[in-house]
Amino acid sequence: MNLPRVTNNNVAGLLNKDEIVRETAQQIMKDFGMFGVEITFSGDVDQAYNELHLQLVEQISLLLERNYDLLLSVLYQVDITDREIDKTTRELPHYNHVEIIAHQVIVRDLKKVLLRRYFKTRQ
């Protein structure tokens, strides 16, 4: 099994297997839930990206307004870097700053899921 390269332009295509979508949603819910921020997933794998992205945009916007330190803690937990945000800003110019951060959360947690699956198959 080769580990696929995850880019800003192919993330939706990699979310094509039900179990990967569910695991990615679970990872996002876990990462945010550790800080008392609720993200839910309906189970509709066809709308997973849009559903999660909209919730993340809403929650990140609230954290920006009300608790910036908590937002930084969540982003640290997810492992979002300024470099990734800057790169995504150039690649997805139609997204605003909050939408870019939300997108990066999905990308990063998808990468975590794919890495975990990759190393699980290598054992």
Question: pTM score, two decimals?
Answer: 0.83
Q: Is residue 5 part of a domain?
A: no
Q: Is residue 1 part of a domain?
A: no
pLDDT score at 123? 58
Q: Is residue 6 part of a domain?
A: no
How would you write the pLDDT of the chain (123 residues) with one tens digit per residue? Answer: 465 666 666 565 665 688 889 999 999 999 999 999 999 999 998 899 999 999 999 999 999 999 999 999 999 999 998 898 898 889 888 999 999 999 999 999 998 998 887 777 665
Residue 74 CA from chain centroid, whole number:
12
How many beta carbons lie within 10 A of that of residue 8, not counting itself?
17
Q: Is residue 84 part of a domain?
A: yes
Q: For 52-78, give the secondary structure using H, E and C.
A: HHHHHHHHHHHHHHHCHHHHHHHHHHH
Q: Is residue 43 part of a domain?
A: yes
111: containing domain: 11-118
**By C-alpha distance, which of 1, 37, 40, 11 is closest to 110?**
11
pLDDT score at 103? 94
Find the angle CA(49)-CA(77)-CA(119) to the nearest 5 degrees.
75
